[in-house]
Amino acid sequence: MGAVEQLYIGLFDTGILLVALTESLQRIVIGFSLAVIIGGILGILLGVSKIADETLGSLVIALQSVPSIVWLPIALIVFQGGAGAIYFVVILGGTWAMTLNIRMGIKNVQPILIRAARTMGYNHTELIWRVMLPASIPSALTGARLAWAFGWRALMAAELIGRGGLGRTLMDARDFFNMDLVVAIMIIISIIGLIVEYFFFSKIERKVLSRWGLAKAS
């Protein structure tokens, strides 16, 4: 009951949790959007260019194995402890998953589709935009889902030693031995994850799978 009480106080009385939640949501929306854009561009490049895949692709795979939070000390120095450091970590957290899934989606396009497009006279650019990218949308959705999950985790970890947001509020609550508030923040973090998964990604996934004939339309 103590955690529920802290939720009510923090959201509707003092507003501490509401302010922290708003700041964290702003950060994840911006960071996730940039991760999807950057990762999408890199994924397309790796998927359509053999040279880029053999060079830059190896670097992407190597960077993916490095936890994004490891970059935080460097980011704090580069961005002088500002919000840019947290955004940087969040973007790194989601970019590589998006990149590799887009790359995989493009490379796994059925050869018969590519041959049919070439028979119809598609040039290289048309082949990419009208065949490869549409066929890779299910993989792109998986990449976006992973980018969100990794970015959200990276954000919470970065805020623990950064400024503002739910992560910083959680650390402050721990420092003041307010375990009820710590649990309340953990509940908020979990609920946000569930909301995004079931009310955003799951709905989009059903529509995409239905569009591609991989599932029944709801």
DSSP character string of 14-51? S-HHHHHHHHHHHHHHHHHHHHHHHHHHHHHHHHH-HH
Report the share of the chain in percent with pLDDT over 90.
Answer: 37
* CATH number for the domain whose boundaries are 2-209: 1.10.3720.10
> For the segment 135-149, what is each residue's pLDDT rounded down to a tens digit?
888 889 999 999 999
Q: Domain limits of the chain?
A: 2-209
Q: Residue 94: is its pLDDT beyond 80?
A: yes
Q: Residue 214: is its pLDDT beyond 60?
A: no
> For the segment 30-55, what is each residue's pLDDT rounded down to a tens digit?
999 999 999 999 999 999 888 998 88
As to burial, measured by CB atoms within 10 angstroms (0-12 exposed, 13-18 middle, 19+ buried), residue 73 is exposed
138 vs 142: CA distance, rounded Å: 7
